[in-house]
Chain A
C-alpha cells in the first residue's frame, strides 16, 4: 500500500471502500469527528479498512433503500416521512453535457442512498469540500431519489423530439386550475424522499450544486406527512383537511397490479420507458381558513368519507368497500355523487398510485392566510388513460373544489431503474 498508493489520491480510495456518514462518527468516536473531517482523516480511515466495512453494512441495511434496481426507488417503495421536490431546467444545449450531468447525479445519488459522503475531495483545505456536509454522520434515512424528464426535454434542443413518449402529454386545462408559472413545468423533475428532512434537503442541494453550469432550479417544494415516530403503526396518513388520504391506493406489493397501473411496459409504444412510470405533480393549495369553518357534516359530504374512521359514509371501517349505490331512507345516495371519493373512484376501473405530501410554505402576503396544502404526486402507466380522465371529472364536479385550488403542475417521464454501472436515462440517451 505504501508504494502502490503513490499516485492514488486519498479521495479515490474512498470510492473503493465506502464509509457511511454514520461510520465516520462511529469510528472516530463522536468527539473526534470534527477533527477527523476537518483535518483530512481520509487516509487514516483507510487504515481501518477491514473493520469499517462490516460496520457499514450493518448500520445501513435496515435504514437504506437501494438506489439501483429494475425500477427507480421512490415510486412503489413505502412513502417516507419527508419530501423535497425540485424541478430543474437545463441551461446547456449539449446532449453530452446532459449525459455527464446524469452520470454525476447517478453516482452522487447512489452514494447518498447509502448514507455516504459524495465526491472525492472532502479534505483539501484549499478547496470547497465536494459534499456540503450537513448530512455527515446521519443515517441514510431511507433516502430515495427519483428522476424524470418533462415534455420540454423533448423540444428541439437535444434532438430527442422523436423519442418523446406519447403518454408524456401536456396536461389539458382542468376546471378550477389557477396555475402559476412559478410552480409549473421543468425539463427535469427530481423527487427526494427521506425520513429526515435535513437529509432530503442535503440531497437536492448537492444535486443542484453538481448541476451548476448545466441546469438550474426551476421550482422546489418541500413536503411532509406524519412521521413514522408519531404513528408507529403506519396508519393511512391524514391530509391537512384532517381526512385520511391514500386509502384507495392500489397495493404496491401486488406486482401484476403495479405492472398494470404504474409501470410502463415494453409494448406500450416507448421501449426506453419500459419499467419507468409517468409522474404527475400538482401543487394544490387548501383554503384552510375556509375549510375550518365548514361543518363536520359538510366536510364528510365533501370527501364522501367519515373523518374519524376514514370509512365511506354509511360504513364502519376505513377499508370497507365504497358502495356508491347505497341510498338513504329518502332514496338519495349515501355517498354524494359529487363527493371526492365518488368521483375519484368512478367505477373503480381507473387507478393511479398516489404518493402525495402535505406542504406548508409560510403565508400568502396578499391575504395573510396560510399557503398550505398538498403536493399531489401520482404515478401511472399512461397519464392519458388514468390521471387525465380522473382529474377532468374532479375538476368539473368535485365538491372539494370549493376548498382547494390547483396552482402548480408538472408531468415527468420517470426513467426505468438504473443497473449498477449505468446511469439515469441511459435507455434514452
Chain B
C-alpha cells in the first residue's frame, strides 16, 4: 500500500506539471491526497475470515496431493510391471488430482515442469514426468524405457506433497489461481495440445474447472456480500460449462479429444471464456 500511495502522489505531480495551470495546484494536490487516503481506507482488506478461507484451500490442496501420491503409486506400479493397458487406464484419472491444484504446484519452482512438461517444453535431457510416460504408452504402446521416469514421477509427487505443507496460501493466489486454471484450459486443453498422444484432454479440462470451482465456492459467501450479481453470474457460468462438459462423459471418464468436432470445442471454449471473464473480477473482494 505504501508504495502505491507514493506512486499516486508522484503521478499527480506529473499531471500538474503537464497541464500548465499553477493557480490551484496546492488545493488540487490536497484534494488528490485526500482522494488517495479515502481510497486506501476503502481498500483495507474487506474479508474478515481470510485465514479460515486460505486454510480450507490449503487443506484441499493437501487432500488432492495425498490422492495424487496414492494414485501415482498405482500408475507407477503398472508401468514398472509392464502392464500397458492398466497404465493407460490409470493415466488420465491420476493426473486430475494434479490438474485441480496446478497453480499451487506452479508456484513451487521446478516441480511443475518435472511433473507436467510436454515434449519440447524443456530440453530433451530434462524431459520427464507424466507426458514422457504418456508418449511411451501411446506412441510405443510399451512401458520399456519408462520405468525410470515412473520412479522419478512418484518421487516428484511426494516432494510436491511435502512442499505444499510449507506453502503460505495468499488470498491473491486464490483469486488469480482460479483464473489461471481456466486459462490453462483455454490455452492447451480446449485445443487438444495438452495430451497429444493419449487425447485425454477432457480429463484435464474437467479437473481444471473443478479446481477453479473449489476456489469460487470458498470465496462465494464473501463475494456474495460484496457483489451478489457477479457471484450469481459466476455460478450460472459454472453451471453452463459443467452442463456442456457432461455431454462428453463416458463411463467414469470422458471421450477422447479426437471425438470432438470443431463446433464442440468452439462451444466449450466460448463457455469457458464466458466463465473466466466474470471470474477474473473476483479480485474485487481483495479491495483496491
Contact = CB atoms under 8 A, between A and B. Distances in A.
Interface of A: 1-2, 5-6, 8-10, 26-29, 31-32, 35-36, 38-41, 43-48, 50-52, 55, 91, 123-128, 209, 212-213, 216
A48 B35 CA distance: 13
Interface residues of B, number: 45
18 contacts: A1-B31, A39-B4, A39-B11, A40-B288, A41-B8, A41-B12, A43-B8, A43-B35, A43-B39, A44-B36, A45-B15, A47-B16, A51-B19, A124-B288, A126-B283, A126-B288, A128-B283, A213-B233
Contact of B11 (A26, A44, A50): A44
Contact of A6 (B14, B38, B273, B274): B38
Given A1-B31, A124-B283, A48 B8 contact: no
Contact of A126 (B18, B29, B277, B287): B287
Contacts of A38: 7
Contact of B12 (A44, A125, A213): A44
A221 B42 CA distance: 44
B15 A41 contact: yes
B149 to A, nearest CB: 38
A32 B11 contact: yes
Interface string B200-220: 000000000000000000000
A128 B286 CA distance: 13
Given A27-B18, A209-B277, 9 more contacts: A27-B15, A29-B18, A38-B7, A39-B4, A39-B8, A48-B15, A123-B288, A126-B175, A126-B288
B140 interface: no
A48 B28 contact: yes
- Among A2, A43, A55, A216, the one with the most B-chain Cβ atoms within 10 Å of its Cβ is A43
Contacts of A29: 14, 17-18
A1 B36 CA distance: 12
B89 to A, nearest CB: 36
B15 A36 contact: yes
Nearest to A32: B14
A40 B7 CA distance: 8
B279 to A, nearest CB: 10
Contacts of A209: 277
Given A28-B15, A45-B15, A209-B277, A127 B283 contact: yes
Contacts of A36: 11, 14-15
B280 interface: yes
A212 B281 CA distance: 13
Given A39-B8, A47-B32, A28 B18 contact: yes
Nearest to A25: B18
Contacts of B175: 126
A124 B39 CA distance: 11
Contacts of A32: 11, 14-15, 18
Contact of B32 (A35, A44, A126, A216): A44
Most chain B C-beta atoms within 10 Å of own C-beta, residue among A5, A32, A126: A126
A2 B283 contact: no
Given A2-B34, A28-B15, A128 B281 contact: yes
Given A32-B14, A126-B288, A52 B273 contact: no
B14 A50 contact: no
B9 to A, nearest CB: 8
A269 B30 CA distance: 60
Interface of B: 4, 7-12, 14-21, 24, 28-32, 34-36, 38-39, 42, 172, 175, 233, 236-237, 270, 273-275, 277-278, 280-281, 283-284, 286-288
Contact of A213 (B10, B20, B29, B274): B274
B8 A47 contact: no
A210 B131 CA distance: 37
Q: Which 10 A-B pairs have the closest CB atoms?
A: A44-B12, A47-B28, A43-B35, A39-B7, A32-B14, A126-B283, A212-B277, A2-B34, A213-B274, A41-B11
B186 to A, nearest CB: 12
A428 B130 CA distance: 56
B38 to A, nearest CB: 6
A35 B13 CA distance: 11
B286 to A, nearest CB: 4
A365 to B, nearest CB: 16
Contacts of A43: 8, 12, 32, 35-36, 39
Contacts of A9: 42
B281 A127 contact: yes
Nearest to A124: B288
A204 to B, nearest CB: 15
Contacts of B275: 213
B24 A50 contact: yes
Contact of A128 (B11, B270, B280): B280
Given A40-B8, A91-B270, A128-B280, A26 B35 contact: no
A386 B8 CA distance: 58
A56 to B, nearest CB: 12
Contacts of A27: 15, 18-19
Contact of A48 (B16, B278, B280): B16
A127 B172 CA distance: 10
B38 A44 contact: no
Contacts of B42: 9
A345 B191 CA distance: 49
Contacts of B19: 27, 48, 51-52, 55
A126 B280 CA distance: 10
Nearest to A45: B15
Contacts of A31: 14
Question: Which of A1, A35, A55 lies at the interface centre, i.e. has the most chain B CB atoms within 10 A of its CB?
Answer: A1
A126 B226 CA distance: 15
Contact of B4 (A40, A91, A128): A40
